[in-house]
Amino acid sequence: MKPYKQITEEDLKNLAKIIDRERILWKKEINEEYSHDELSAGQHYPDIVVRVTSAEEVSKILAYANKNNIPVTPRGAGTGLVGAAVAVEQGIMIDTTLMNHFLELDEQNLTLTVEPGVLLMELAEYVEKRGYFYPPDPGEKSATIGGNISTNAGGMRAVKFGVTRDYIRGLEVVLADGTIMTLGGKTVKNSSGYALKDLIVGSEGTLAIITKAILRLLPLPKKNVSLLVPFPTLEQAIRAVPPIIKSKAIPTAIEFMEKEVIMDAEKYLGRKFPDNQADAYLLLRFDGSTTDEIASYYDSVAQICLKQGAIDLLIADTDERAESIWKARGAFLEAIKSSTTAMDEVDVVVPRSNINDLVEYIHNLQKQTGTRIKCFGHAGDGNLHAYILKDNMTDEQWKNALSVTMGKMYQKARTLKGSVSGEHGIGYAKKEYLKQSMPAEALQIMQGIKKAFDPHNILNPCKVCQ
Amino acid sequence: MKPYKQITEEDLKNLAKIIDRERILWKKEINEEYSHDELSAGQHYPDIVVRVTSAEEVSKILAYANKNNIPVTPRGAGTGLVGAAVAVEQGIMIDTTLMNHFLELDEQNLTLTVEPGVLLMELAEYVEKRGYFYPPDPGEKSATIGGNISTNAGGMRAVKFGVTRDYIRGLEVVLADGTIMTLGGKTVKNSSGYALKDLIVGSEGTLAIITKAILRLLPLPKKNVSLLVPFPTLEQAIRAVPPIIKSKAIPTAIEFMEKEVIMDAEKYLGRKFPDNQADAYLLLRFDGSTTDEIASYYDSVAQICLKQGAIDLLIADTDERAESIWKARGAFLEAIKSSTTAMDEVDVVVPRSNINDLVEYIHNLQKQTGTRIKCFGHAGDGNLHAYILKDNMTDEQWKNALSVTMGKMYQKARTLKGSVSGEHGIGYAKKEYLKQSMPAEALQIMQGIKKAFDPHNILNPCKVCQ
């Protein structure tokens, strides 16, 4: 590959012919925010940021970049955790946050068409107000839907409802050469050639840039109940999950939480958690169309939890009560972040029957290495979030601690038949671990796919499989 | 591309070192069945059929074929409709029907691991007996699960539950060069690089050969009710669908049927359909966990149907009654086939709000051209099956009639924002229509993906995008 073109004033002038100069940020006009994401350690500034408002603009910019061999990094709200939206090769950053319009609610086809910059919290509000439901529910509500699609975000409700890919009916994308293309549409089924739409989902901006999405909606479940179950130990809590799944009760979500993380959240939110009697909790949610239907589920789940040693059963059947618990859960990431000087994360996913082994391993790893590691996550779908904390380590110690603990955790996940990332993606930060986790042939195929979409490698270079 | 190697007695000898000679069919030993699928017009015999029993055998055969430039066509039960499992370039046919074992039911992870040759009817029986549910439900129950995965089969229950791709957690596949690879696994989430597993689903044997599948199961819904609703006209029946969807009632299936197709089915099955008062019917199914829950759905749906002009409402709340109706529905394809000399099919899918326009167009097309066309299909998901009948046309007339009617139907589907195939795939028969329906850039990307997986183009050549 020949080296990328260095951006000059000439390029600025040319880009300013494509989009208004006031929507271009150039060198010193670029805010510090654009140089990193929510978690990345280093800083990488793009040379230029363009705040696009249409697919046509994206098309012209990509055609220009492709012709001139300039790398392009797409970016939504910048809430990612693996550096996917960081311009590690500089060049042009395409900021999609101004493309934040709701385009069409189609009630006959149960679809919602949106621009990529719509925030997850806006999306939830929009559909729920109208009696609909967009199931994917990642903790970070200020992420954009474009970012969610790019990482195939999962969230709390994957146990019952699946992940983002399951709710993408169609996409409008711009290819590296500027071609605007529609993939899928409003149809429910599709067996017409290779699944390009499903491939774009989760490709972290390396194959094409998303400019429109047709989302599949469900009717909003009429009733829901949350159940907070305190256990004497985390092991007992997590060991209750397989029998719950086996009981065919179909919870929407099963989260696990430990006392020390809850205390971080209390401190961060300045608000007491509704219970403090136990070291570990399961938090479950059930959705359904009648109270009886839900009751039939949680009654059997309650019995299973008690049999597994639960101390108590707290039913949150009012919105206020449920909200106070889920709000604490939603604040875990920020709460842990504010409790230390720096941190990095591991987002492995294992079969849910193996999550206890993984958590136990990480607890022991913490003891062995003396490095603080905080965990929380999705007990119901096997997706664990483990945060490794820098505290008062030197940079050298920290680098070393990260390398040791991460290496061991990813290795353990592999032996438990898991994958590198459940929902945060690979980006820049995890690509070495992805490479270690898969056969060389799979990596080679991914690189071949990348080449089929983006022969000059201008789209988000150095990410995922590059 | 250099021409494929012609298979010789030498190749037979070499292959007989890999698998038992009695599981090899050579030239005249090859049954006529292997020369076509359920619908393909011409006959194409492979030179050799190997009835494999393990991934290791598939691996060795592919390594041999790849080295010697021999085309390979995978085949399940041969129930396809688009020639995907027909050896149009001769060479080796890999018959997977002996790989028909249930390998593991994992009740903690709600997965079932199977070999590709398991039949859909065996699968349904196996899981339902144990209280589980594998939702995809194509009409052809004697298809293999491997074939279903290869075409991303849909079926009746897609309205509520989605299609095959939504239920594939993991695959073991053999690549063109013989590498055995596992994609995905038992995990619920995965954001670890490009979605190779989802890409293999629906790729019709052109990217890799499936040797194992990990299926996602659901708990078996405790109750179900079917509703048969007679309407004076098909238009009224189909026009009831968008308001049903809009009412948020979540039916599992909504099928439409016309009297003449029902009469074909009666004749074919030698069994009366439970109702004969109307020209058109909607058939709906509801699943749920309590009778109350389901009743709340179908009550509102019944009101909508009556408002749209329904003549009657027949509730099938016993298994026997429901079975007699669904059995007729399941026999439509065979019944139509037995009513004529030859036929070909169109499997377009459109947004469900547009299906009435499509059916009306086809009815008019029938009048205009004088060619008999019979339709049935999935009103709830916009997937129409239209069968063009040869009756007493000459071969020349038939070729011409097919070309005219198909061309027009596919064109109409495009203007209605639909796709070439909802669930039957592209195979050999529909690839020209696929090419017409998509931008050249998309086709080029598909060809690039094909090359990344299969650089020598030995896997199921001349299919899908080739």
- Residue A96 has a pLDDT of 98
Strands A72-75 and A92-95: parallel
pLDDT value for B293: 81
Q: Compare all CA atoms of chain B with the CA of A418 and give the residue at the minimum distance.
A: B187
Residue B121 pLDDT > 90, yes or no? yes
Residue A42 confidence (pLDDT) above 90: no
Question: Given pLDDT bands bounded at 50, 70 and 90, which one contains residue A283?
Answer: very high
Q: Does residue A42 sit at the B interface (CB-CB below 8 Å)?
A: no
Question: In which residue are the tokens 């669930």 written?
Answer: B423
Each residue of B19-74: pLDDT tens digit? 999 999 999 999 999 999 998 767 999 999 999 999 999 999 999 999 999 999 99
**Contact B60/B54 with Cβ under 8 angstroms?**
no
Mean pLDDT of A280-305: 90
CB atoms inside a 10 Å sphere around CB B422:
30
CB contact under 8 A, B382 and A250: no
Residue A8 forms contact with B (CB below 8 Å):
no
Per-residue pLDDT averaged across B385-410, rounded?
96
A22 to chain B nearest CA, in Å? 33
A 10 A CB-CB count for A130 gives 12
User: Which one, of A320, A315, A316, A376, lies nearest residue A346 by Cα?
Assistant: A376
Handedness of CA B387, B389, B395, B398 (dihedral sign): negative
Instruction: Kindly state whether A453 is in contact with chain B, defined as any CB-CB distance less than 8 angstroms.
Output: yes
CB < 8 Å to B380, chain A: 188
Q: Which string of DSSP letters, residue by residue, matches B80-146?
A: -SSSTTS-TT-SEEEE-TT---EEEEETTTTEEEE-TT-BHHHHHHHHHHTTEE---B-S-TTSBHH
Q: From residue A451, give the alpha-carbon distance in Å to each of A19, A445, A448, B310.
A: 28, 10, 5, 55
**Cβ separation B191–A422 shorter than 8 A:** yes
CB spacing of B108 vs A242 below 8 angstroms = yes
**B245 to A195: CB separation less than 8 angstroms, yes or no:** no
The whole-number pLDDT of residue A320 equals 86
CB proximity under 8 Å: A 315-344 to B: none
Under DSSP, the state recorded for A155 is: B
What is the average pLDDT score of chain B? 95
Q: Do A451 and B446 touch (CB under 8 A)?
A: no
Residue B302, burial from CB neighbour count under 10 angstroms (0-12, 13-18, 19+): middle
Rounded CA-CA distance B461/B90 in Å is 10
Contact B169, B184 (CB under 8 A): yes
Model confidence at A296, pLDDT cuts 50, 70, 90, reads confident
Task: Give the tens place of pLDDT for each residue, B331-342.
Answer: 999 999 999 999
- B24-26 vs B48-51, strand pairing mode: antiparallel
pLDDT tens sequence across A350-376: 999 999 999 999 999 999 999 999 999
Interchain proximity A441–B290, CB inside 8 Å: no
For the cut 80, the answer to whether the pLDDT of residue A192 exceeds it is yes
Does B139 or A148 have the greater pLDDT score?
A148
The string of pLDDT tens digits covering residues A196-244 is: 999 999 999 999 999 999 999 999 998 999 999 999 999 999 999 999 9
pLDDT at residue A1 in the model: 65
Residue B202: list chain A partners with CB under 8 A: 191, 194-195
With b meaning 16 or more CB within 10 Å and e meaning fewer, what string describes A410-440? bebbbebbbbbbbbbbbbbbbbebbeebbee
**Residue given tokens 């390979």 in the structure block:** B72
B442 touches chain A (CB under 8 A): yes
- Whole-number pLDDT of residue A282: 96
pLDDT for the residue B83: 95
pLDDT digits (tens, 9 = 90+) for A1-16: 679 999 999 999 999 9
The C-alpha of B30 sits at a distance from chain A's nearest C-alpha, in angstroms, of 30
- How much is the average pLDDT of B79-98? 97
Looking at residue B415, what is its pLDDT?
96
Size of interface A-B (CB pairs under 8 A): 294
ipTM for this model: 0.96
Smallest CA–CA separation between B252 and chain A, in Å?
13
All domains of chain B in start order, with CATH: 9-98 (3.30.43.10), 102-219 (3.30.465.10), 223-333 (3.30.70.2190), 340-425 (3.30.70.2740)
What integer pLDDT is reported at residue A301 of this predicted model?
Answer: 94
Reading the block at residue A268, the tokens are 């961060």
| Cross-chain Cβ contact A108/B446 below 8 Å | no
| CB interface of B with A, residues 369-398, below 8 Å | 378, 380-383
If you write DSSP's letter for every residue of A352-412 in order, what string do you get?
GGGHHHHHHHHHHHHHHH---EEEEEETTTTEEEEEEE-TT--HHHHHHHHHHHHHHHHHH
Mutate to test the interface with A, among B132, B167, B187 (most CBs of A within 10 A): B187
DSSP, collapsed to helix, strand or coil, labels residue B288 as: strand
How many helices (H) and strands (E) chain B has is answered by 16, 18
The angle at the Cα of A255, spanning A249 to A259, to the nearest 5 degrees, equals 135
Q: With an 8 Å Cβ cutoff, is B165 touching chain A?
A: yes
* B436: Cβ contacts below 8 Å, ≥ 6 apart: B410
Q: Are A284 and A251 in contact (CB under 8 A)?
A: yes
Walk across the sheet containing A253-258 and list its strands. A314-316, A223-231, A280-288, A253-258, A373-378, A383-389, A343-346
What is the tens place of the pLDDT at every residue in B176-229?
Answer: 999 999 999 999 999 999 999 999 999 999 999 999 999 999 999 989 999 999
Q: Which amino acid appears at position B285 of this protein?
A: R
What is the rounded CA–CA span in Å between residue A376 and residue A359? 9
Q: What is the mean pLDDT of residues A121-142?
A: 96
Alpha carbon of A194: minimum distance to chain B alpha carbons (Å): 6
